[in-house]
Amino acid sequence: MTRVPITREGYNELVKELEYVRSVRRPQIMREIEAAREHGDLTENAEYHAAKEKQGQIEAKIRELENRLGESDIVDIVKLPEDRVVFGSVVLLENLETGGRVQYRLVGPHESDIKKNRVSVTSPIGRALIGKTPGDVATVQAPGGKKEYEVIRIGSE
């Protein structure tokens, strides 16, 4: 089994999501199935079939989260070097074309979320940033074309 790096925070979020799906969503679906069964003939009961489909999706989600947790390797990011970009680093970048600035944390693929400014170390930008130091330029092959970012600052928060 391939081990996937993850921060403690990311691991805890996965555990929390798994607990929610198991303790809240799964029982909700079971109640929906029971309520639909009370309507009689199951062969033409759309509510029953919809609830059973949701049950399958929930069970698949549980397996997915269990697998993610099982293959996760928690990386301690308490003492990160601030002279180069590594897993867990928070990096302030300047887009050399637009002058716009953006800050990302480099995380594992199971916890990447662009809305939270978390990018995977395996993404194009993550791969381009690993090992860079302040002042370096990272060239990223993005779907919209090549982009260049200057590393302004590296930190842990």
| Overall residue count recorded for the chain in this entry | 157
Structure confidence at residue 1 (pLDDT): 65
The pLDDT assigned to 30 comes to 94
**Sign of torsion over alpha carbons 118, 124, 129, 131:** positive
* Residue-level pLDDT at 157: 72
For the stretch 113-156, pLDDT in tens is: 999 999 999 999 999 999 999 999 999 988 888 999 999 999 87
Question: What pLDDT is recorded for position 147?
Answer: 93
- Where are the domain boundaries for CATH 1.10.287.180 in the chain? 4-74
**What order do you get walking across the sheet with 101-107 strand by strand?**
118-120, 101-107, 90-95, 145-155, 137-142
80, pLDDT greater than 90: no
Q: Strands 90-95, 101-107: parallel, antiparallel or unpaired by DSSP?
A: antiparallel
Fold (CATH) for 90-155:
Chitinase A; domain 3 (3.10.50)
Domain with CATH 3.10.50.30 in the chain: 90-155
Query: Which amino acid is residue 53, in one-letter code?
Result: E
What is the value of pTM for the model shown?
0.76
Strands 90-95 and 145-155: antiparallel
Q: How far apart are CA 53 and CA 122, in angstroms?
A: 33
Digit-coded pLDDT (tens) for 37-64:
887 777 778 888 899 999 999 999 999 9
- 86-103 tens-digit pLDDT: 999 999 999 999 999 999
Mean pLDDT on 77-82: 75
Class of domain 4-74: mainly alpha
113 DSSP assignment: B
Three-state DSSP state, 149: strand
Per-residue pLDDT at 120: 95
